[in-house]
Amino acid sequence: MIDDKNIFKTPISEYGEFGIIKHLTKNFEIRSPFTVKGIGDDASVSDPKNKKVLLSSDILIENVHFNLAYTPLKHLGYKVVIAGISDIIAMNASPQQILISIGVSNRFPVEALDEIYKGIHIACKHYNIDLIGGDTVSSNSGLVLNVTAVGFADENEIVYRKGAQPNDLLIVSGDLGGAYFGLQVLERENVAYKSNPNLQPDLSEYSYILERQLKPEARTDIKNLLKDMDIHPTSMIDISDGLASEILHLSDQSNVGFSLYEEKIPIDNQVITTAEEFGINPITGILNGGEDYELLFTLPITETDKIKHNPNFSIIGHATQEIKNVLITKGNTQIIPLTAQGWEAYLNKKHTIK
């Protein structure tokens, strides 16, 4: 298990507030054509170039949304960027900028912050995002990270949660459940480590799901994929909570019901074998887990042929006229109503990153 805190030593006070901001942000370049002025003044300046501006914030709190016992700080920095830009992508907009605010206690040395900002830097470079500001304050206890993501889109490109029509297809990108079952493995190994710190577990058989949990990616590719296929979703949301709560959001805001076909949900083999190992139904994990950062959207049924053979997407259900009534179909016969377990799990359970 990782314990960055003991390796590095420089206290933040050695830099002072001004010095630490300069130090942490010195390697960040400006890439976006929308950025006029980034870090360094009282506020950043953007040029929206006749586009609509989309803004979204996420907050991550230590021991609520992440556990530093098994989350490398660099991965945490990467993931906070993903959490931010995924919400912009879910509106079919292009994420361009982020602001990151950090509350940090003196138990974190400068080198720990360096690791977080390394992860932020890698993500910014990978996704062509500018870090254009933030705030740095001290916290009495845990580490707090806030990300505000900024995106731009033409008005007619934007896709809301509202807009699904009865009979529309319900589609998901990628596969689901990896992040949730990756978290189960990490939690189990953390407990084992506490009772025997000499354990060196071989986790290679879980590599895909651990990566889904620790280093998720944002589906910036989907906007162009859909554009190339001449497809415009009628509604869309990203899967940061469980699939159940995301479908219920679309249902609620679009005023439609949904029928979800359990056997069509795309699941990687590693999810299936790990779920079996833990004695958890993989579908339960998918409905109530989260953090896969895939996209869930609806399309008119007339678009079926354009999408049905595309390996990036799975048709997992359809919208119905039964307002706000979401049913899950198991096999041919069994039909169960879907409840907002994802949301309840988020309220009751720790470490579900929103």
Annotated binding residues for ATP, written as ranges, equal 117, 134-135, 161, 240
Residue 311 CA to residue 173 CA, distance in Å, equals 9
Nearer to ligand ADP, 121 or 212 (CB): 121
Q: Which of 68, 91, 102, 214 binds ligand ADP (CB under 6 A)?
A: 102
Q: Does 40 bind ligand ADP (CB under 6 A)?
A: yes
Residue 136's beta-bridge partner residues? 102
Residue 139 CA to residue 211 CA, distance in Å, equals 29
Helix, strand, coil percentages (3-state) for the chain, rounded to 5, are 40, 25, 35
Backbone CA torsion sign across 143, 64, 246, 287: positive
| Min CB(67)–ligand ADP separation in Å | 22
Nearer to Mg ion, 145 or 214 (CB): 145
Per the annotation, where are the binding residues for Mg(2+)?
A: 42, 56-58, 87, 135, 238, 241
| Min CB(100)–Mg ion separation in Å | 12
Q: Which of 68, 81, 100, 145 binds ligand ADP (CB under 6 A)?
A: 100
Which residue number is nearest to ligand ADP in terms of Cβ? 133
Q: Does 76 bind ligand ADP (CB under 6 A)?
A: no
Q: Does 39 bind ligand ADP (CB under 6 A)?
A: yes
| Min CB(57)–Mg ion separation in Å | 16
| Those residues with Cβ within 8 angstroms of residue 320's Cβ, 6 or more apart along the chain or in another chain | 166, 167, 256, 257, 258, 259, 327
Residue 313 CA to residue 269 CA, distance in Å, equals 17
Q: Does 41 bind ligand ADP (CB under 6 A)?
A: yes
| Min CB(237)–ligand ADP separation in Å | 28
Q: Does 135 bind ligand ADP (CB under 6 A)?
A: yes
Specify burial of residue 219 (Cβ count, 10 A radius: 0-12, 13-18, 19+).
buried
* Contact between 21 and 104 (Cβ < 8 Å): no
The beta-strand segments (E) located in the chain are: 35-37, 45-46, 52-61, 94-104, 130-138, 144-153, 169-173, 235-238, 257-261, 295-299, 313-320, 326-330, 334-337
Residues near Mg ion (CB under 5 A) are 135
Q: Which stretch binds ligand ADP (CB under 6 A): 33-41, 54-62, 87-95, 167-175?
A: 33-41
Nearer to Mg ion, 14 or 135 (CB): 135
Nearer to Mg ion, 135 or 263 (CB): 135
Residue 313's beta-bridge partner residues? 173
Residue 192 CA to residue 186 CA, distance in Å, equals 10
Nearer to Mg ion, 138 or 190 (CB): 138
Q: Does 228 bind ligand ADP (CB under 6 A)?
A: no
* Contact between 181 and 285 (Cβ < 8 Å): yes
Q: Which stretch binds ligand ADP (CB under 6 A): 132-140, 163-171, 178-186, 201-209?
A: 132-140
Q: Which of 103, 109, 133, 182 binds ligand ADP (CB under 6 A)?
A: 133
What residues make contact with ligand ADP under the rule CB under 6 A?
21, 25, 39-42, 100-102, 131, 133-136
